[in-house]
């Protein structure tokens, strides 16, 4: 298949795409004779329109006399990204038309109910499995199939992981498969452990508090006061009183645990976390990750 598409343009609008032409012929079109249909009506960062507005699109550059038409309505939650795209378009000097109550230019890419019925009656399928949409939309589409003569048992409203099997022209529902989200961690593709994700969320919202203690395990002796440092929890210089209280509690816990004859590093770390966690939450209302670091120093 060739990679060039010939477009028929009349009055500034694309009528159809049928025959193939060479790239140099397309370059001979006057700017006023070209209409570009592209993605980006919802301000998606990697969509064509967003890259055009940013000036990062490799093939398309805006001209001051260009016109951009958003033939769509904003999806709730996308207003900010759409507004950013429109602002960038205005900064490049182009005229922008958006859908408003006074300027109804919205057009949907989704079929309406009567169009769906027409499609079902034209194709006359034996089975119907609606897809793309919320459950209520899928269910409504399946009900339309029943209205158009498809047996109810031949309609399938599926969720992620559900499986349909086709054998000898018969479709049946099969054993589901696991279809959970797959997260990309850096350059590695794969599922991240849930504990890692939980820790990242805690650090993002409440930060981390590190308790560093130098002890002589042989003599069961705390050598110096514990050192407290934080990231994303509080500023040490602005919360010296709180840090001092945490330091005192940690020192008391370590000293008490060192009195036990068979105490281990893990015992001390666990007790530090157990004592500090409720205390910090009561004072600050936050739940930082508490990371005790115990260093065995030989005197």
Give me the pLDDT at residue 187, please: 65
Instruction: Classify domain 7-97 at the CATH class level.
Output: alpha beta
Average pLDDT of span 17-25: 48
Give me the pLDDT at residue 189, please: 58
Quickly state the pLDDT bin for 23 (edges 50, 70, 90): low
Cα–Cα distance measured from residue 226 to residue 229, given in angstroms and rounded to the nearest whole number: 10
The residue behind tokens 């850096």 is 186
Average pLDDT of span 145-159: 95
Quickly state the pLDDT bin for 22 (edges 50, 70, 90): low
Q: Is the pLDDT of residue 8 over 70?
A: no
Q: Assign domain 193-296 to its CATH architecture.
A: Roll (3.10)
Give me the pLDDT at residue 203, please: 85
* Percentage of the residues of the chain whose pLDDT score is greater than 70: 87
**Which backbone phi and psi does 136 adopt, to 5 degrees?**
-60, -35
The token pair that represents 117 in the structure block: 């019925």
**CA-based radius of gyration for the chain:** 32
Give me the pLDDT at residue 190, please: 60
Alpha helices in the chain, H assignment, sequence order: 23-27, 48-54, 79-91, 113-123, 135-147, 194-206, 240-258, 265-284
Alpha-carbon distance values, 164 to 124, 151, 155 (Å):
20, 17, 11
Cα–Cα distance measured from residue 272 to residue 222, given in angstroms and rounded to the nearest whole number: 14
Cα–Cα distance measured from residue 264 to residue 254, given in angstroms and rounded to the nearest whole number: 11
Domain boundaries, the chain: 7-97, 113-174, 193-296
Average pLDDT of span 14-33: 58
SS3 string, 83-115, reads HHHHHHHHHCCCEEECCCCCCCCCCCCCCCHHH
Q: What is the mean pLDDT of the chain?
A: 84
Q: Are strands 67-69 and 95-97 parallel, antiparallel or unpaired?
A: parallel
- What digits encode the pLDDT tens for the residues 180-209? 777 666 666 566 677 788 888 888 888 999
Average pLDDT of span 217-231: 88
- Say yes or no: do domains 7-97 and 193-296 share a fold: no
């Amino acid at each position: 298949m060739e990679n060039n598409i010939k477009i028929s343009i009349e009055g500034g609008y694309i009528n159809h795409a049928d025959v193939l032409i060479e790239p140099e012929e397309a370059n001979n079109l006057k700017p006023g004779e070209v209409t570009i249909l592209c993605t980006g009506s919802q301000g998606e960062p990697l969509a064509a329109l967003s890259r055009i507005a940013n000036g990062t699109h490799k093939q398309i550059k805006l001209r001051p006399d260009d016109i951009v038409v958003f033939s769509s309505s904003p999806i709730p939650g996308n207003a900010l990204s759409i507004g950013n795209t429109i602002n960038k378009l205005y900064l490049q000097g182009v005229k922008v038309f958006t859908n408003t109550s006074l300027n109804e230019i919205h057009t949907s890419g989704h079929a309406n109910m009567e169009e769906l019925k027409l499609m079902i009656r034209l194709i006359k399928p034996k089975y119907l499995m609606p897809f793309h949409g919320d459950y209520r939309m899928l269910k409504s589409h399946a009900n339309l199939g029943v209205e158009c003569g498809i047996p109810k048992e031949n309609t399938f409203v599926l969720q992620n992981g559900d499986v349909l099997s086709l054998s000898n022209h018969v479709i049946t529902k099969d054993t589901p498969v696991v279809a959970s989200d797959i997260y990309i961690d850096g350059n590695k593709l794969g599922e991240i452990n849930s504990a890692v994700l939980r820790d990242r969320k805690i650090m993002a919202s409440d930060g981390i508090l590190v308790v560093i203690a130098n002890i002589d395990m042989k003599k069961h002796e705390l050598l110096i006061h514990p050192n407290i440092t934080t990231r994303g929890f509080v500023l040490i210089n602005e919360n010296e009183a709180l840090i001092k209280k945490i330091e005192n509690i940690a020192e008391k816990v370590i000293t008490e645990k060192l009195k036990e004859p068979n105490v281990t590093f893990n015992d001390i770390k666990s007790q530090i976390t157990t004592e500090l966690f409720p205390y910090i939450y009561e004072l600050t209302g936050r739940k930082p990750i508490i990371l005790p670091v115990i260093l065995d120093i030989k005197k």
